[in-house]
Amino acid sequence: MTKSHRLRLLAAAAPAVLAAGAVFASASSALAATPTAQPDSQALFSTEGGVTPQFLANARTVPHFTFNFTDPTNGVTYPITMVGADPRSNTSTTVHTVIIPLKMNFVAGNQDTSALNDLGWVGFRATPLTHSFDGSSKVAATLNSPAFANSNYPSDLGGDTAQLGDAFMRAQFNKIGSSYHVKLVNDVTFPTQTLDVPANQGLAYVRPVPAWRVGHGLQATPDATGVANVSWFSAQVQNLMKSLKVDPTTLPIFLTDNVLLYIGEGNYLNCCILGYHGSGSEMPNSHGTGSINGQGANPVQTYLYA
């Protein structure tokens, strides 16, 4: 092939090469711009507050016992406080509870939900909703649940017949079949308390799984979920304990319906706290009105969010 023929061939092939390059560049750009699904939220658990050991001795609170445990890996000794009586006593303890249902009203207020884009699947968008979640609808189910009702557990779980928490305590201290118990008894269910969630402290929306199921004809009605700022929520709970004058010797259970908590203002991705336990001595700057000098009988309030 002569030089002139080679030049003519290259000149003819050049547009095709350039076109192919443009196609590959376009495909590469499109691939780079294609959104990917974000991992859905993870289950989180938390605690709120705490009590220093000097306020626990002879405190007015739920039944409890304290012991020391030395970590064999580092030799550090930790004080541990648990609800109930010392298992070595072989006694039965009853923890009295009160259920406080919460009706939580969320409002669609132009919340920025862009951080939730493509959560779970590509194309997901979280639309803020005005929606109410009423925990009173879950009271009967809670009282009939294994937390309060006795259940029969199979032999590989100890073969015990007890409430779930009682069975757990008896099993871990090798007390199945003994007279040792830690039981729950609900004394009263309070009237439903209403919390109006500000738009900057919470969001109601249809989460990725029900949204996908509705979009694919697998579910007729979308299930909404509420998420609230844990700091804001905890402040409301503490105010309620004061206004309702909850006795510190009882365990209040704040019951919600499909409401989860996130950490940090507007940080919907740092979600979701499914429940937590809180405690604190009723001292100034805490959530009670007790005297700073309790003379060995300081009130210490514990509580649960579920």
What pLDDT is recorded for position 212? 82
What pLDDT is recorded for position 281? 59
Q: Which uninterrupted H or E stretch holds 86?
A: none
Partners of 94 in the β-ladder: 183
Rounded Cα–Cα distance for residues 153 and 95 (Å): 22
What pLDDT is recorded for position 243? 94
DSSP string, 172-232: HTT-TTSS-EEEEEEEEEPPPEEEE--GGGEEEEE-HHHHHHHHTTS-SSPPEEEEEEHHH
Residues 6 or more apart whose CB falls under 8 angstroms from that of 139 comprise 99, 101, 189, 255
Rounded Cα–Cα distance for residues 114 and 129 (Å): 15
Rounded Cα–Cα distance for residues 286 and 177 (Å): 41
- Is the pTM here over 0.85, yes or no? no
- Over residues 169-178, the mean pLDDT reads 92
pLDDT of 12 over the 70 cut: no
What pLDDT is recorded for position 300? 87
Identify residue 249 by its one-letter amino acid code: T
Q: Indicate left, alpha or beta for 97 from its phi (over 0: left) and psi (-120 to 50: alpha).
A: beta
What pLDDT is recorded for position 220? 80
Rounded Cα–Cα distance for residues 242 and 221 (Å): 39
> Among 126-135, 187-196, 273-282, 288-297, which is the least confidently predicted range?
288-297
> Which DSSP category does 269 fall into?
T
Q: How many CB atoms within 10 Å of residue 235?
A: 13
Rounded Cα–Cα distance for residues 101 and 253 (Å): 8
Least Cα distance to 233 among 269, 205, 193, 206 occurs for: 193
Q: CB-hemisphere CA count at 13 Å for 41?
A: 23
Rounded Cα–Cα distance for residues 92 and 181 (Å): 4
Rounded Cα–Cα distance for residues 75 and 52 (Å): 22
Q: What is the pLDDT of residues 39-51, one digit of tens each?
A: 777 777 777 777 7
Rounded Cα–Cα distance for residues 129 and 118 (Å): 18
Rounded Cα–Cα distance for residues 52 and 283 (Å): 12
